[in-house]
Amino acid sequence: MNNVAEALIIAGSDSGGGAGVQADIKTMQACGVYSTNVIVAITAQNTLGVQDSLNIPVSLINAQFSSIFADFNIKAAKTGMLADRVSLTCVVENIIKFKINRLVVDPVMVAKGGAKLLNDDAIVTLKKQLLPLALITTPNLPEAQVIVGHKISNQNDIMQAAKKIQAMGSKNVIIKGGHDDKKRVRDFVLLENQKQFFLESERIETNRTHGTGDTLSSAITSALAKGHSVEEAIRFGRKVVTKTIEFGIIVGHGHGPLNHWA
Ligand code: PLP
């Protein structure tokens, strides 16, 4: 028998298997971590986009948390798609109830195809109630702009935005630079002890990046579940994402998924 680190995914399902809970499970599996799941929403989705979605009733979100915490020894958790203010509030209550403190918040808002994965009316709750519970928050540039409430146009803006997100209560912040159009990808990291640095790599030219954010936050959560430090977990997560993009696979007719075997 082997001991294995246990983690929790709190997110939405992607029927196409490329993003959401499915990307999270594949990532954690590849990282050698056992993943449990609270499904907050179900999307009918493929590599071409999101065709439909359904939010899970609060009673069933609560029931999933209760089942998991009655049985498993959860070392770290991540949030992904939280759908709307009602489900986000329910998730916040459960994070507090079950004292989840190694929490990675991926503030998922819009899919690359343009579908909304979080209602606008949930943004204030995300900022006021969820970010203060986060050990690490992992926004991309558009999400960081929504959270701080203004455009981020240069390196200095990114650093200031990370400070603002930290001031909202997230102990550590990584702002992902993959959404600007530079030749290199630069992610900015601000740690709790005020250490700050950029993580930089060559941009890989591909449209097969569906589920990149989910994969990063799940790899970070896996490393946290195994007991690594926040800085180690972030550096590890970034390496995992680069590899899964680099060795991309060809399935579907659109915006393809990553290679979680890589
Ligand atoms: N669908 C679900 C359920 C997700 O949770 C996410 C991201 O978190 C996405 C889609 C977005 O995927 P992408 O923007 O990488 O295409």
ipTM for the assembly? 0.91
CA distance 68 to 60: 12
- Domain range for 42 is 6-246
Q: Is residue 229 part of a domain?
A: yes
Q: Which residues of 20-29 are buried (b: 16+ CB within 10 A; e: fewer)?
A: bbbbbbbbbe
Cβ of 143 less than 6 Å from ligand 1: no
Q: Is residue 198 part of a domain?
A: yes
Choice from 22, 45, 108 to test ligand 1 binding pocket (greatest atom count within 8 A of CB): 108
Amino acid identity, position 139: P
Cβ of 43 less than 6 Å from ligand 1: yes
CA distance 172 to 229: 11
Bridge partners, 52 (sequence order): 44
Pairing of strands 6-14, 74-79: parallel
Ligand 1 atom with the shortest distance to the CA of 45? 1
Helices (H), the chain: 20-30, 58-69, 85-97, 123-125, 141-148, 155-167, 212-225, 230-246
Q: How far is CA 208 from CA 36, 46, 48, in A?
A: 26, 13, 11
Q: Residue 80 is part of a domain; what is its CATH number? A: 3.40.1190.20
Residue 79: helix, strand or coil by DSSP? strand
Q: Is residue 159 part of a domain?
A: yes
CA distance 162 to 10: 23
Alpha carbon of residue 178 to chain centroid: 14
Amino acid identity, position 109: M
Cβ of 18 less than 6 Å from ligand 1: no
Instruction: Domain count for the chain, please give it.
Output: 1
H/E stretch holding 183: none
Which of 43, 35, 42, 44 is CA-nearest to residue 8?
Answer: 35
Cβ of 117 less than 6 Å from ligand 1: yes
**For every one of its 262 residues, what pLDDT tens digit does the chain have, with 9 covering 90 and above?**
888 999 999 999 999 999 999 999 999 999 999 999 999 999 999 999 999 999 999 999 999 999 999 999 999 999 999 999 999 999 999 999 999 999 999 999 998 888 999 999 999 999 999 999 999 999 999 999 999 999 999 999 999 999 999 999 999 999 998 666 667 889 999 999 999 999 998 888 888 888 999 999 999 999 999 999 999 999 999 999 998 988 888 899 988 788 888 7
Q: Is residue 258 part of a domain?
A: no
Q: Is residue 226 part of a domain?
A: yes
Residue 122: helix, strand or coil by DSSP? helix
Which of 102, 188, 78 is CA-nearest to residue 144?
Answer: 188
Amino acid identity, position 185: V
